[in-house]
Amino acid sequence: MNAVPAARATPVNGSALAALNDWVAEVAELTRPDAIHWCDGSDAEYQRLLEAMQADGTLLPLNQDTHPGCWLHRSDPQDVARVEHLTFVCTSAREDAGPNNHWMAPDEAHAKIDGLFDGCMRGRTLYVVPYCMGPIDSPLARCGVEITDSPYVVANMRIMTRMGADALARIEREGAQGKPFVKGLHSTGELDPDRRFIMHFPEELAIKSYGSGYGGNALLGKKCHALRIASWQARQEGWLAEHMLIVGVENPQGETHYIAAAFPSACGKTNLAMLIPPEGYRAKGWKVWTVGDDIAWMHRGEDGRLWAINPEAGFFGVAPGTSAKSNPNALASIQRDTIFTNVAVTADNQPWWEGLDDRVPAIDWQGRPYDPANGPAAHPNARFTVSASQCPTYSPHAEDAQGVPISAIVFGGRRASLVPLVFQARDWAHGVLVGAAMASETTAAATGKVGVVRRDPMAMKPFCGYHFGDYFSHWLSFDQPGSKLPGIFHVNWFRKDEEGRFMWPGFGDNMRVLEWIIGRVTGEAGAVESAIGLVPEASSLNRDGLDLDGQTLRSLLQVDPAGWRHEYKAIAEFIGEFGERLPGKLKAEADRTARALDALA
Ligand code: GTP
Ligand code: SPV
Ligand code: MN
């Protein structure tokens, strides 16, 4: 059934790999695969995987003339997004997972999920996928091994991480120094939503995921390792693992400022990371460089600044809405060697999704002849998986072992009303409050209702592997003598008018906001104080070539005290839920803002 040859049951032996060998043997004993394959990450291995998946229908070739090396995968229609209600953080003390996570006692969780894993790989191949999150030579990078029975997951992991022999060598080297790797066990199981769990055991540096083959549920290096487990480690070790893009903005003088931005899922990280500045900016010499589009690991450097690496090697990006107008860099990246999941296709077998162009699709994401009565042709959470190296603006510093220095941190979400286009926090502690108070409309990236406003602190609600109260304390702890912390900002590209249309043009025009942000950190741009933070005057944003009337722009920058009084009541209630673990300093910041708003009444 599977053309991938069963390789040796254990790799070349080194005693530092004994723990890995033992674990693989233990998992095989439980799951009963027909064969075991240790992935080396080579091109030949990737080609064999693709061929096997083509043979069994897991992958369908797309038009190879227009899209060489591109494939389509149609997932089970019941398996199209992350499943937050089935995602658990299993710490020995319930309180450590916090009210922000679903919790299960580790023993109970292991027993429950091991029951599902029992014999689940019969007739399948067990793949051992060693991977490194971060540049392979970076001291900030961390390794893991994912065991999976899904060749689609293996192929995606090869694009999204540094996967294979080099990672295994690093795991062996680090094993000799007593450094552990993260153990992830995954099976697609029966893809039955009633037999599906994504379990995290931060105290054991382990992940067990059963019953889904999709994205963050199954590519365990991504949300499970690089956010949930890594955030736990980061707190213990004094760094930050965040749901943030990293983008470099180079000014006409050739200086590059790096910005890290946390927006919830499907709220614009990939787009901002690949932004193309408006014509007027390009003419003057402004350039934008992409370092990462989803996750940032940030460490305090010896110079007191925060330095960030992107732990990923590829982009698992939202397809719908991606066009030559909105994100030409993403579109250029995905013309070759890309795996598309749940997109539609045109009559000549090219990938297609809503917002791409005016062509009419022939077949929808479920393989049916396209009929608008069935809803969108592409699933709203359809994705592309592509190597970061294919992005035309991939930063020459994206693989720097020490990362890039961060000048500004930006929080943001989808807010149809109230929240201005941009404002700046007064200082670090106020910035932590601004992040903690974030809210956004839910999107198709997770199953459940779309468009409901929910609190999503630092865009980490689904991804923080521990108690949010402790997480806010951890953020506050970075404010120390000698630290040169980035400025903190909040943006909202998603304000709507009475007719439900976006008021701000967004995309490339977001450059105008980034310029103001950089101006603020260099001291060149002005701002006016408001009760919620510092806002630009309409005149301090560059409006050359901006297709927006002055009145709309001014209303996007306005702070509405009555609306914000209401908002701060909701914020106070929300942070109150973190009880005794809520840092007093954060509460004091919230009280102070609420008082300032009351004074305006
Ligand atoms: P995840 O990969 O789920 O973490 O998502 P993301 O944060 O990277 O979001 P992405 O950049 O893929 O954008 C999601 C959707 O928002 C796409 O359909 C985009 O076209 C749309 N979008 C992104 N930026 C803007 C913007 O500035 N304005 C508007 N109106 N839409 C935007
Ligand atoms: C997100 O939902 O934030 C994503 C996609 O980046 S997934 O990998 O499915 O989590
Ligand atoms: Mn994401």
Cβ 219 vs Cβ 160: under 8 Å: yes
Q: Annotated catalytic sites, by residue?
A: 267
Among residues 435, 82, 445, 420, the alpha carbon closest in space to that of 267 is found at 445
Q: Which-ligand-closest: CA of 317? A: 1
Report the nearest atom of ligand 2 relative to the CA of 318: 5
103 and 219 in one domain? yes
Q: What region, left, alpha or beta, does residue 103 occupy, with left being phi > 0 and alpha being psi -120 to 50 degrees?
A: beta
Which residues in the chain come in under a pLDDT of 50?
A: 1-12
Q: Are residues 112 and 195 in the same domain?
A: yes
Q: Which domain holds residue 379?
A: 315-390
Contact 324, 393 (CB under 8 A): no
The per-residue pLDDT for 6 is 39
Rounded to the nearest whole angstrom, what is the distance from the C-alpha of residue 320 to the centroid of ligand 2? 14
The whole-angstrom separation of Cα 213 and Cα 74 is: 11
Residues 6+ away with beta carbon under 8 Å from 108: none
- Residue 378 CA, ligand 1 centroid: distance in Å: 16
Instruction: Of 294, 292, 273, 331, give the one whose Cα is nearest residue 508.
Output: 273
| H helix or E strand, kind and range, residue 412 | strand 404-412
One domain, residues 449 and 532: yes
HEC letters along 485-532: CCEEEEECCCCECCCCCECCCCHHHHHHHHHHHHHHHHCCCCCEEECC
21, 123: one domain: yes
Per DSSP bridges, beta strands 142-148 and 102-103 are unpaired
- Domain assignment present for residue 56? The answer is no
Q: What is the per-residue pLDDT across 549-572, written as a single tens digit (0 to 9) for each?
A: 999 999 999 999 999 999 999 999
DSSP 8-state code for residue 152: H
Question: For the chain, how many structural domains are there in total?
Answer: 3
- The structure tokens 């590519």 sit at 219
Boundary of a domain, candidates 328, 360, 390? 390
Residue 601 has a pLDDT of 85
Q: Does any domain span residue 149?
A: yes
Give the pLDDT score at 16: 73
Using the structure block, give the residue that is written with the tokens 């051992």.
Answer: 128
Residue 327 sits in the same domain as residue 286: no
With vertex at residue 244, the alpha carbon angle to CA 241 and CA 250, rounded to the nearest 5 degrees, is: 120
Count CA atoms within 13 Å of residue 206 on its CB side. Answer: 14
Statement to judge: residues 408 and 535 lie in one domain: yes
Both 301 and 191 in one domain: the answer is no
CA distance 555 to 561: 13
The CATH code of the domain that includes 357 is 2.170.8.10
Query: Terminal CA-to-CA distance of the chain, rounded, Å?
Result: 71
Centre of ligand 1 to C-alpha 569, Å, is: 29
216 C-beta closer than 6 A to ligand 2: yes
| H helical segments located in 249-339 | 269-273, 279-284, 328-333
Spatial neighbors of 62 by CB under 8 A, at least 6 apart, are 70, 71, 72, 340, 345, 349, 350, 351
User: Is 69 a domain residue?
Assistant: no
Establish if 588 belongs to a structural domain.
no
Same domain, 490 and 536: yes
Contact 343, 365 (CB under 8 A): yes
Distance, CA of 48 to chain centre:
29
Closest atom, ligand 2, to C-alpha of 463: 3
Is residue 181 located within the same domain as residue 230?
A: yes
Mutation pick for ligand 2 pocket among 86, 227, 294 (CB with most ligand atoms within 8 Å): 294
Ligand 1: nearest atom to the Cα of 507 = 27
Question: What is the SS3 assignment for 478?
Answer: coil
Residue 54 lies in a domain: no
pLDDT score, position 14: 58
CB 63 within 8 A of CB 151: no
Q: Which two tokens stand for residue 357?
A: 């162009």
Is residue 27 in a domain? yes
Instruction: Tell me, in angstroms, the distance from the centre of ligand 2 to residue 389's CA.
Output: 20
Residue 344 lies in a domain: yes
Which pLDDT does position 220 carry in this prediction? 98
Q: Which of 334, 360, 390 is the endpoint of a domain?
A: 390
Residue with tokens 């901006």: 546
Most ligand 1 atoms within 8 A of CB, residue of 222, 270, 327 to mutate: 270
Residue 31 sits in a domain whose CATH number is: 3.40.449.10
3-class DSSP assignment, residue 256: strand
Any domain includes 64:
no
What pLDDT score was predicted for residue 4? 35
Same domain as 284, residue 203? no
**Ligand nearest, relative to CA of residue 198:** 2
Alpha carbons 265 and 244: distance in angstroms, whole number: 10
Integer Cα distance of 526 and 550 in angstroms = 18
Instruction: For ligand 1, pick from 156, 271, 343 the residue to mutate: most ligand atoms within 8 Å of CB.
Output: 271
C-alpha dist (Å) from residue 234 to 103, 186, 476, 481: 20, 24, 14, 20
* Residue finishing a domain among 211, 237, 263: 237
Q: Which tokens hold the place of 399? A: 């693989």
CATH number at residue 535: 3.90.228.20
Are residues 199 and 320 located together in one domain of the fold? no
Say whether both 472 and 513 belong to one domain: yes
The pTM score is 0.97
State whether the Cα torsion 41-44-50-56 is positive or negative. Answer: negative
CA nearest neighbour of 146 among 121, 134, 129: 129
